[in-house]
Amino acid sequence: MEMAKKTKARALFISPIDMFADNGMAHGQAQLLSALCSVYDDVDLLSAGAPPALAREWLQRAGIRVNLRTGLFATIARWNTMLWYGGGVILCNKLKLIDRFYFPMRTNLPRSWIDTYDVIVCYYAWHYQLLGLNRCERKVIVDTGDIMADRHERIGVRRWITLTSEDERSVLTSGSRCLAVSEADIAEFEKMYGVRPQLLSFVPPNHRQLIQLASAQMPPRVGFMGAPGFVNEEILRLLSAPVFVSTLRREGIELLIAGGICDTVDRRILSALEEGGARILGPVRSTAEYYAQIAATVNPVGPSTGVKIKSVETLIAGRTLITTRWGADSGLAAAFPGQVVHVNWPPELQALAETCTAAVRSAKGGNEVAAEKYVRDATLRLRESLRL
């Protein structure tokens, strides 16, 4: 893709992640930060979730060249982030003494920092509140991530970090530019707050390798790959049901299970999968190598928020995606015509196994043109949304 000329301006990227995990949040940050570096010639990073040494290690591993901000304010902001996150998890999620994550102590971004930068990109909405970024107005671009306030109660999403609707509304109606990670989230924000953020479509960092698989052979296998987490544990619990695995085995369809979830899920679930004929791969070195081994992904995800990383990877790799409406919204399905098979939630497991069987047997490979268009459109749209 032809690179546009960089803007001679200074940009600040605010990172909330701890830099330890290799998950969707880290991949999303890499995409956003890389796009920012392709637009501006001078980019700084404030690591509010990881100490400088870990942040440098992550940046080096990701191949991203930025200037890491250190010093007194950076340290105070990181400690406040840790206190806020840890306190919220304990008081809200563990002890249930409060119903939302609140902001009792804010670490306002210094006015000298605000004046230094032409644009400030805030990854996830909570640092907008923690750092008092409402004082920056249109300078700020907020990636809203997968956090949404009242929707957790309305559709039964398991809550981890949830803001009050007042705090979330203040971000979305502040005049700052907001980005949503899916068409479904845009629709929800419009319903809840009367605003329509711009769309930020996820693009995997290894998309070129994945696109090359679209015309490759389709082995008679269906797979599920996921990172450690409650949602993925519940999916594996479903897939371990005897009726599901026995139907696949009877039809000659092998089930592959991969990813970090294999190291953290209840061992009884893995045993049930193996007894049913599934092959447990565990963490994989290369996602491209994993997708080369399957013809379809099964991801019967229940009510949840945000973009589904593995759904996008599956489609770009030319594989069939069997999922619910939460695993691929209408916009993603439209971008990859004929590759998404929607199933109901909760799934009827016999029917789900039969759907997987039919998908694997009819798999012909995806459309490289569609994948290239998705990547090109998403990349150009993101770069444009980051410009002054």
Structural domains of the chain in order of their starting residue, each with its CATH number: 8-200 (3.40.50), 207-371 (3.40.50.2000)
* Residue segments in the chain with a per-residue pLDDT below the cut of 50: none
CA dihedral (258, 261, 262, 263) positive or negative? positive
Residue 162's pLDDT is what? 79
Q: pLDDT value at position 7? A: 75
Helix H or strand E encompassing 322: strand 320-323
β-bridge pairing 67-68 and 40-47: parallel
164-178 pLDDT, tens digit per residue, is 889 999 999 999 999
Give pLDDT, residue 155: 62
Report the pLDDT value the prediction gives residue 216, as an integer from 0 to 100.
83
pTM, 2 dp: 0.89
Predicted pLDDT of residue 353: 98
From the list 143, 146, 184, 161, the residue with the least C-alpha distance to 323 is 184
The pLDDT of residue 258:
97
Give CA–CA dist 120/386, Å, rounded.
10
User: What pLDDT is attached to residue 6?
Assistant: 78
- Six-digit token string for 242: 């005897």
Residue 246 structure tokens: 């026995």
pLDDT of residue 147: 67
User: For residue 183, what pLDDT is reported?
Assistant: 86
Number of helical H runs and strand E runs in the chain: 18, 13
CA distances for 271 relative to 221, 236, 289, angstroms: 19, 11, 24
pLDDT on residue 228: 87
Round to whole Å and give the CA distance between 335 and 119: 31
Q: What is the DSSP string of 213-277?
A: TTTS---SEEEEE--SSHHHHHHHHHHTSHHHHHHHHHTT-EEEEESTHHHHS-HHHHHHHHHTT
Residue 311 corresponds to which tokens in the numbers above?
A: 């759904």
pLDDT at position 327: 92
- DSSP class of 354: H
Whole-angstrom Cα Rg for the chain: 21
pLDDT at 359: 96
Per-residue model confidence (pLDDT) at position 142 = 96
In the DSSP assignment, the letter for residue 336 is: S
